Amino acid sequence: MSGTMRAAVLRQPGRDNANPLTVEDRLVPKPGFGEVLLRVEACGVCRTDLHITMGELKPLRDEVIPGHQIVGRVAALGDGVAEFPTPGERVGVSWMGGVDGTCLLCRKGKENLCDYPVFTGYTVNGGYAEYAVARADFCAPLPEEPKPEELAPLLCAGIIGFRSLRVAGVEHGDRVGLFGFGSSAHLAIEVLKAWSCEVYVATRGESHRKMARELGATWVGDALDRPPEQLDCAVTFAPSGDVVMAALASLRKGGAVAINAIHLDRMPQFDYDSLLWGERQLRSVANMTREDARDFLKVAQEIGIRPKTTLFALEEVNAALNAVYKETIDGAAVVLC
**Binding positions for Zn ion, rule: CB under 5 A:** 46, 48, 95, 99-100, 103, 106, 114, 156
Nearer to Zn ion, 106 or 170 (CB): 106
98 strand-pairing partners = 118
Task: Determine contact, residues 215/189, Cβ cutoff 8 Å.
Answer: yes
Edge-to-edge strands, sheet with 281-284: 219-221, 198-202, 175-179, 231-236, 251-259, 281-284
In whole angstroms, give the CA distance from residue 283 to residue 167.
7
Minimum CB–partner distance for residue 60 and Zn ion (Å): 16
Minimum CB–partner distance for residue 46 and Zn ion (Å): 3
Nearer to Zn ion, 20 or 227 (CB): 20
Minimum CB–partner distance for residue 262 and Zn ion (Å): 8
Among the residues of the chain, which ranges form H helices?
47-53, 104-107, 148-151, 157-167, 183-194, 206-214, 241-249, 272-275, 290-303, 317-326
The backbone torsions φ and ψ at residue 327, rounded to the nearest 5 degrees and listed phi first, read 55, 40
Burial 108-118 (b: 16+ CB within 10 A, else e): eeebbebeebb
Nearer to Zn ion, 50 or 176 (CB): 50
Residues in Cβ contact with 189 at an 8 Å cutoff, skipping those fewer than 6 apart:
178, 199, 201, 212, 215, 216, 217
Nearer to Zn ion, 114 or 152 (CB): 114
Nearer to Zn ion, 157 or 197 (CB): 157
Minimum CB–partner distance for residue 236 and Zn ion (Å): 16
Minimum CB–partner distance for residue 100 and Zn ion (Å): 4
Beta-carbon count within 10 A of 207 CB: 13
Minimum CB–partner distance for residue 164 and Zn ion (Å): 12
Nearer to Zn ion, 111 or 150 (CB): 111
Minimum CB–partner distance for residue 95 and Zn ion (Å): 5
Start-to-end CA span in the chain (Å):
17
Amino acid letter for position 219: W
One DSSP character per residue, 274-326 reads: HHTTTT-EEEE--S--HHHHHHHHHHHHHHT----EEEEEGGGHHHHHHHHHH
Minimum CB–partner distance for residue 155 and Zn ion (Å): 8
